């Protein structure tokens, strides 16, 4: 006899549980609560994706509010290929990599840097907070990011631990920064502190306590914003209801922290150096 679902000790108990399952109106059959899944169709650029809805509703109340909740009675966005939900600020490859992370293929696969890059950006942008925490844990375990990449992720994607570690390594190893990297540090108010500590006599012995003191305002801002990504925070306190941002054409609240951080850096680089050569 096949194994029964968890909590079902015998066939009679299973039958009792099954009696409470919802019934499909058209066929009259009961729908398995675990494996009868609604699908949603997304459009990214000129490509369509059809994915179980539960992945988005479960992981991000913010994304659900922004894209999945009906805008009006009878709104069927996402129910068919002729009426998909349009996702902006993301490329086809990036969205596919994100999906690879949150609903991986059945066959074994390696989590590539591209998948991790997409996962940290989109989990932050769309507030998939548990996914984001998982990606941060993976990146921390791999520990193969350059000092500036750590600072960049810390500032743009609001990860205070990466920011502090990256700043410490920038100073201790006297990393020579590229023009676009200098722009990012200046934009976030960290450039003077980095240059000051790198030129000081004790740069070899700079400690984390010195980093915390020298960059306390920059770190404070990141730590304050970081609270909204706490996977254990209640929705009303750190989530959907209290999010600052602007509204899109449908009146939905958009979180612009990631967009603005990326665009601010690119604009400054373009203005000063004539080429949009910022990190992607």
Encode pLDDT of 113-125 as tens digits.
999 999 999 999 9
Q: What is the DSSP letter of 198?
A: H
Distances (CA, A) of 20 to 5, 31, 70, 111, 119: 14, 10, 27, 40, 37
Distances (CA, A) of 277 to 121, 261, 267: 18, 15, 10
pLDDT at site 241: 45
pLDDT at site 280: 40
Domain ranges of the chain: 145-230+256-273
What pairs with residue 254 in β-bridges? 246
Q: Specify the 3-state DSSP secondary structure of 275.
A: coil
What's the rounded Cα separation, in Å, for the pair 202 and 225?
A: 31
Torsional class of 89: left (φ above 0), alpha (ψ -120 to 50), beta (otherwise): left
Helices H / strands E in the chain, number of each? 14, 5
pLDDT at site 261: 63
In this prediction, residues 222-230 reach a mean pLDDT of 95
* Confidence bin at 265 (pLDDT 50/70/90): low
Dihedral sign, Cα of residue 95, residue 100, residue 106, residue 107: positive
User: Which of 13-22, 88-97, 236-245, 257-266 is modeled with the greatest confidence?
Assistant: 88-97
pTM of this structure: 0.79
Distances (CA, A) of 232 to 3, 116, 241: 33, 22, 16
More confident residue, 29 or 3: 29
Encode pLDDT of 11-48 as tens digits.
777 777 888 888 988 899 999 888 889 999 999 999 99
Could you tell me the two tokens for 203?
């740069």
Q: Specify the 3-state DSSP secondary structure of 215.
A: coil
- pLDDT over 90 at 208, yes or no: yes
In this prediction, residues 149-173 reach a mean pLDDT of 95
Could you tell me the two tokens for 72?
């009006």
* Confidence bin at 180 (pLDDT 50/70/90): confident
First-last CA distance in the chain = 53
The helix (H) or strand (E) run that includes residue 85 is strand 85-86
Q: Determine contact, residues 265/183, Cβ cutoff 8 Å.
A: yes
In this prediction, residues 216-231 reach a mean pLDDT of 95
pLDDT at site 250: 39
Lowest model confidence (mean pLDDT) among 26-35, 184-193, 238-247: 238-247
Lowest model confidence (mean pLDDT) among 24-28, 208-212, 230-234: 230-234
- pLDDT over 70 at 230, yes or no: yes
φ/ψ of residue 37, rounded to 5: -110, 135
In this prediction, residues 251-264 reach a mean pLDDT of 55
More confident residue, 256 or 40: 40
Rg (CA), the chain: 23
Distances (CA, A) of 225 to 152, 235, 266: 15, 15, 22
pLDDT at site 257: 62
In this prediction, residues 123-130 reach a mean pLDDT of 96
pLDDT at site 277: 34
- For strand 246-247 and strand 253-254, is the pairing parallel, antiparallel, or unpaired? antiparallel
- Orientation angle between helical segments 257-273 and 179-187, nearest 10 degrees: 130
- pLDDT over 90 at 106, yes or no: no
In this prediction, residues 35-62 reach a mean pLDDT of 94
φ/ψ of residue 39, rounded to 5: -105, 150
pLDDT at site 15: 77
Mean per-residue pLDDT of the chain: 83
235-273: b (≥16 Cβ within 10 Å) or e: eeebbbeebeeeeeeeeebebebbeebbebbbebbeeee
Q: Specify the 3-state DSSP secondary structure of 75.
A: coil
């Amino acid at each position: 006899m096949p194994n029964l679902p968890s909590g079902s000790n015998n066939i009679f108990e299973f039958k009792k549980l099954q009696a409470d399952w919802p019934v499909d109106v058209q066929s009259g059959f009961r729908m398995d609560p675990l494996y009868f899944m609604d699908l949603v169709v997304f459009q990214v650029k000129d490509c369509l994706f059809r994915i179980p809805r539960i992945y988005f509703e479960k992981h991000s109340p913010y994304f659900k509010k922004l894209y999945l909740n009906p805008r009006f009675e009878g709104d069927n966005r996402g129910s068919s290929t002729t009426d998909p939900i349009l996702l902006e600020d993301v490329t086809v490859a990036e969205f596919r990599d994100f999906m690879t992370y949150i609903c991986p293929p059945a066959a074994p696969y390696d989590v590539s840097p591209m998948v991790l890059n997409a996962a940290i950006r989109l989990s932050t942008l769309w507030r998939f907070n548990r996914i984001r925490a998982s990606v941060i844990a993976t990146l921390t375990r791999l520990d193969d990011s350059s000092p500036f990449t750590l600072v960049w992720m810390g500032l743009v994607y609001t990860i205070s631990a990466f920011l502090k570690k990256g700043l410490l390594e920038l100073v201790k190893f006297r990393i020579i920064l590229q023009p676009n990297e200098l722009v990012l540090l200046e934009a976030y108010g960290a450039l003077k502190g980095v240059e000051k500590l790198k030129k000081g006599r004790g740069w070899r012995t700079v400690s984390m306590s010195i980093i915390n003191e020298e960059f306390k305002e920059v770190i404070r801002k990141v730590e304050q914003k970081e609270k909204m990504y706490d996977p254990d925070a209640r929705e009303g306190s750190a989530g959907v209801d209290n999010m600052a941002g602007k509204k899109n054409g449908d009146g939905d609240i958009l979180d612009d922290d990631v967009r603005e951080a990326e665009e601010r850096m690119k604009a400054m680089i373009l203005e000063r150096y004539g080429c949009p050569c910022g990190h992607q």
